Structure 1
């Protein structure tokens, strides 16, 4: 009998859930401002609250987290360790809240005034986004797109910094995100069509590769090339003649020289379609390197879906690069 009564009684929510329900979620806005601003006054100005109202909000937040969150050392305001840890989490929540309230099933690219942040590498930006971004003036004139740098070893950082979309090698993709394959790439070499010794080659031998002078982009990550152990060793042993500032300057440096560049077959074929350059097969075991688009699972955003479709259309314009 007692057991039956016990089963029929409503279950109490866990203490944490009950505690959260007592918290006014409007405090998210002052919390976000406090964790980003240089002073409480500046934070209040950002969310349009008076000094007493901000002080009251900070007091409630301190009670909730059992932490000061911010401390004042003279004229400077500093975050506590918990405050520092909270800042990216609160910013992520604020982006999700904004996305939820701005969500609409109706999307017209010609009238939208939205914004998209894309995090990717320089090479992928050039080969996939250039034409898409140039066409926005006619396809979506009110859409704002910002390109953020991507550390492929730590792609989560880009999401913490506000990225809506990641474009990256499949082997660097994050497990918990929506993932869409865009294209398959592989590692190739690029030379000037008038290269003094290799101009008639279509495939480089290991001997030719090791004997050549090479050009690399500063910050190039050899780990991003899809290679086996032998290929990785060959890459590390290259005789580097020039280190340039970025991927974009590789064509201008390779043209008229004896240099060999190693990188994306897709990107190099794009360069070769416009300039006196030639793509040759690298002496590595061939491995496909899928490039994927990733975005948070909660984003059911027709604007983002439209933008991804533009990228896929761009990829279909260069099928020979696959």
Structure 2
């Protein structure tokens, strides 16, 4: 190579063959988000208030930018391409952050401010912890709306993709990239009818009693998230499950008057037992606490979210001995 050709002039890029940065007009984010979520282009245009021709023009520019069709028609129905499917949660995340930035406020007055928060939590945590907090909002923050969505304990990041602002999840499942606040320590316990035909005088179940019992489980049962040792995990797998209920909330009505045993949150079961003829007994597992943690994105500096987290923080004080 000629010396003059190999020489790099001061102030110039040493890699002239590098691909140029592709820039996207940020105004196309709104049509892109609508296109990736709507059933067809007309519906997408209606959502962002653009005409059919304007949406077609936007889609053409987006296809040129990504080098992909994004949406195709198969059998008369619109379907996303693999790239379109992969883009959808990413674009939704960006749109949430844009919306948060444009609606950001340095102050939140619970008596006069308004807004909406989406919280992902298990049914047990919703009843045990969120219920009292939400019941107080009508007087504490009348303009604040809360939407609760179910938490997939095995994949909590899905809740973030679906728009959750706050996660309430077991400490074993926390995500490293999020801010965290330990709320309380829970542990696996058993709940029985107060007049259980064989166990009403027991405060602690033996392994033999647990294995011999008839068990009930509920959809979304969180026992898998409790940090059990190998022996405890094996006992759970070996249970004689007689009834599978639709939710945690139906357990008391089914257990009362029966010989069934439920396994789950000590705090939730004690809440039930305080109101109904139920009894909480110690499970025959190693007593290892399961920490419930609140998590939210690190970039969120939202005073409304901070206020709501403070309400949960205050609520946890009603669980003596539950904190680290």
Aligned partners of 1:120 and 1:167 also within 8 Å: yes
CA distance in 1, matches of 2:53, 2:247: 51
Stretch moving more, 263-272 or 67-76: 67-76
Residues 195 and 178 from structure 1, CA distance in 2 versus in 1: closer, same or farther, beyond 3 angstroms? same
Matches within 5 A, 1:20-169: 20=23, 23-73=24-74, 75-169=76-170
Aligned partner of 1:302 in structure 2 is 303
Q: Which has the higher helix share?
A: 1
Q: Is 1:290 the counterpart of 2:294 in the alignment? A: no
Q: CA deviation at 1:45?
A: 1.7
- The question of whether the paired residues in 1 share the 8 Å contact of 2:129 and 2:312 is answered with yes
Q: Matched residue of 2:42: which SS?
A: helix
Count of equivalent residues: 318
Pairwise CA distance, 1:16: 6.8
Once the two structures are superposed, residues 258-296 of structure 1 have per-residue CA deviations (whole angstroms, 9 ceiling, x without a partner) of 221111111111112222222111111111100001111
Aligned to 1:19: 22
Q: TM-score, normalised by structure 2?
A: 0.91
Asked whether the equivalents of residues 187 and 226 of structure 1 are also in contact (C-alpha less than 8 Å), the reply is no
1:194 Cα deviation (Å)? Answer: 1.8
For residue 207 of structure 1, give the secondary structure of its aligned residue in structure 2. Answer: helix
Counterpart Cα distance in 1 of 2:22 and 2:234: 56
Cα drift, residue 183 of structure 1: 0.5
Distance 1:217 1:119 in 2: 18
Which stretch shifts more, 118-127 or 186-195?
186-195
Aligned to 1:194: 195
Distance verdict in 2 for CA 1:221–1:293, change over 3 Å: closer
Unaligned runs of 5+ in 1: none
* Residue 255 of structure 1: aligned partner: 256
Kindly report the root-mean-square deviation, in angstroms, between the aligned alpha carbons of the 2 structures.
2.3
